[in-house]
Structure 1
Amino acid sequence: MKQQQVNVREVALETLLKIEKNQAYSHLLLNDMITKSKLNKRDVPLLTEIVYGTIQRQKTLDFYLTPFSKRPLHKLEDWVRILLRLTLYQFVFLERIPDHAAINEAVQIAKKRGHKGISGMVNGILRSVQREGLPNVDDVLDEIEKVAVKTSHPYWLIDRWTNQYGLEKTERMAASNLLHPTHSARVNVSRVTVDEVLHSLSEEGIEARKSDLLPESIIIQKGSLSHTQAFKHGWITIQDEGSMLVAHALGVQQDEHILDACAAPGGKTTHIAEMLDHTGEIHALDIHPHKVKLIMQQVERLEIKNVTAQSLDARKASDQFEVESFDRILVDAPCSGLGVIQRKPDIKWTKKEEDIYQLAEIQKEILHSVWPLLKTNGTLVYSTCTVDQEENEENIRSFIHSCPNAHIDETLKDRLPVEVQRTMNENRGMIQLFPGDYGTDGFFISALVKK
Structure 2
Amino acid sequence: MCASPVKKNEPDNRKGQAGGDSGPASRSRTDRRNSQAAKPKREHVKKSARDAALSVLTGVEEAGSYSNLKLNQILREADLPRPDAALATEIVYGTIQRRNTIDYYLAKLVTKGLGKLQPWVRSLLRMSLYQLLYLERVPDHAVVSEAVNIAKRRGHQGISGMVNGVLRSAIRQRAELTLPQGMTDAERISLEHSHPEWLVRRWIKQYGAEACERICKANNEPPHVSIRANARRQHQDALLEQLRLGGFDAEPSALSPAGIVVSSGGNMALTPGFGQGDYSIQDESSMLVAEALQPEAGMTVLDCCAAPGGKTAHIAEKMDDTGTVWACDLHPHKKRLIDEQAQRLGLKSVRTLVKDARELAGEFEPASFDRILLDAPCSGFGVIRRKPDLKWGKREEDIAGIAAVQQSILEAVHGLLKPGGVLVYSTCTIERTENEDAVARFLEAHPEFVFDPIPTTGWPESAPLEQAASGMISIMPDRYGTDGFFIARIRRLA
Normalised TM-score (structure 1): 0.95
Q: 1:377 to 1:185 in 2, by over 3 A?
A: same
Alignment match, 1:258 = 301
- Kept in 1, the 8 Å contact 2:382–2:484? The answer is yes
- Kept in 1, the 8 Å contact 2:144–2:167? The answer is yes
Structure 1 letter corresponding to 2:284: E
Query: Residues 243-281 of structure 1, C-alpha deviation per residue, up to 9 Å, x if partnerless?
Result: 000001112222211111111111001101111112221
For residues 421 and 210 of structure 1, what CA distance do their matches in structure 2 show? Answer: 16
Structure 1 letter corresponding to 2:229: V
Alignment match, 1:155 = 197
| 3-state SS in 1 of match to 2:228 | strand
For residues 336 and 430 of structure 2, what CA distance do their matches in structure 1 show? Answer: 29
Q: 1:445 to 1:417 in 2, by over 3 A?
A: farther
1:173 is matched with which residue: 215, 233, 236?
Answer: 215
Does 1:227 find its partner at 2:241? no
2:229 is matched with which residue: 172, 187, 192?
Answer: 187
Does 1:421 find its partner at 2:464? yes
Query: Residues 131-173 of structure 1, C-alpha deviation per residue, up to 9 Å, x if partnerless?
Result: 1224222525232111001111111111111121121111110
Deviates more, 1:239-248 or 1:124-133: 124-133
For residues 98 and 61 of structure 1, what CA distance do their matches in structure 2 show? Answer: 18
Structure 1 letter corresponding to 2:120: W
* 1:334 positional shift: 0.9
Does 1:21 find its partner at 2:47? no
Structure 2 letter corresponding to 1:85: R
Q: 1:4 to 1:175 in 2, by over 3 A?
A: farther
Does 1:440 find its partner at 2:482? yes
Does 1:113 find its partner at 2:168? no
Alignment match, 2:27 = none
Structure 2 letter corresponding to 1:22: A
2:74 is matched with which residue: 33, 50, 68?
Answer: 33
Alignment match, 2:327 = 284
Does 1:88 find its partner at 2:88? no
Extract unaligned runs of 5+ from structure 2: 1-43
| 3-state SS in 2 of match to 1:282 | strand
Structure 2 letter corresponding to 1:75: K
Q: 1:5 to 1:287 in 2, by over 3 A?
A: closer
For residues 413 and 364 of structure 1, what CA distance do their matches in structure 2 show? Answer: 27
Deviates more, 1:290-299 or 1:115-124: 115-124
Query: Residues 356-398 of structure 1, C-alpha deviation per residue, up to 9 Å, x if partnerless?
Result: 2111111101111110011111110000000111111111111
1:273 is matched with which residue: 307, 316, 325?
Answer: 316
For residues 415 and 326 of structure 1, what CA distance do their matches in structure 2 show? Answer: 26
| 3-state SS in 1 of match to 2:487 | strand
2:411 is matched with which residue: 368, 375, 381?
Answer: 368
Does 1:122 find its partner at 2:171? no
Q: 1:423 to 1:145 in 2, by over 3 A?
A: farther
Q: 1:438 to 1:92 in 2, by over 3 A?
A: same
For residues 414 and 235 of structure 2, what CA distance do their matches in structure 1 show? Answer: 36
For residues 300 and 465 of structure 2, what CA distance do their matches in structure 1 show? Answer: 31
C-alpha RMSD of the superposition: 2.0
* 1:421 positional shift: 2.7
- Kept in 2, the 8 Å contact 1:413–1:429? The answer is no
| 3-state SS in 1 of match to 2:371 | strand
* 1:198 positional shift: 3.5
Structure 2 letter corresponding to 1:20: E
For residues 13 and 232 of structure 1, what CA distance do their matches in structure 2 show? Answer: 31
- Kept in 1, the 8 Å contact 2:48–2:84? The answer is no
| 3-state SS in 2 of match to 1:139 | coil
For residues 133 and 284 of structure 2, what CA distance do their matches in structure 1 show? Answer: 32
For residues 247 and 346 of structure 1, what CA distance do their matches in structure 2 show? Answer: 28
Alignment match, 2:449 = 406
Structure 2 letter corresponding to 1:17: T
- Kept in 2, the 8 Å contact 1:385–1:442? The answer is yes
Alignment match, 1:47 = 88
Structure 1 letter corresponding to 2:179: V
Extract unaligned runs of 5+ from structure 1: none
Normalised TM-score (structure 2): 0.87
Q: 1:357 to 1:413 in 2, by over 3 A?
A: farther
* 1:201 positional shift: 3.5
For residues 179 and 113 of structure 1, what CA distance do their matches in structure 2 show? Answer: 32
Q: 1:199 to 1:411 in 2, by over 3 A?
A: closer
- Kept in 2, the 8 Å contact 1:188–1:216? The answer is no
| 3-state SS in 1 of match to 2:71 | helix
For residues 319 and 357 of structure 2, what CA distance do their matches in structure 1 show? Answer: 23
Q: Percent identity, aligned pairs only?
A: 46
For residues 122 and 492 of structure 2, what CA distance do their matches in structure 1 show? Answer: 54
- Kept in 1, the 8 Å contact 2:472–2:487? The answer is yes
* 1:88 positional shift: 0.9
| 3-state SS in 2 of match to 1:410 | coil
* 1:74 positional shift: 1.8
For residues 73 and 443 of structure 2, what CA distance do their matches in structure 1 show? Answer: 44
For residues 464 and 246 of structure 2, what CA distance do their matches in structure 1 show? Answer: 36
- Kept in 1, the 8 Å contact 2:321–2:349? The answer is yes
Does 1:328 find its partner at 2:371? yes
For residues 146 and 334 of structure 2, what CA distance do their matches in structure 1 show? Answer: 41
Alignment match, 1:386 = 429
- Kept in 2, the 8 Å contact 1:258–1:328? The answer is yes
- Relative to total residues, which structure has the larger helix share, 1 or 2? 1
| 3-state SS in 1 of match to 2:226 | strand
Alignment match, 2:350 = 307
Correspondences of 1:52-71 after superposition (within 5 Å): 52-71=93-112
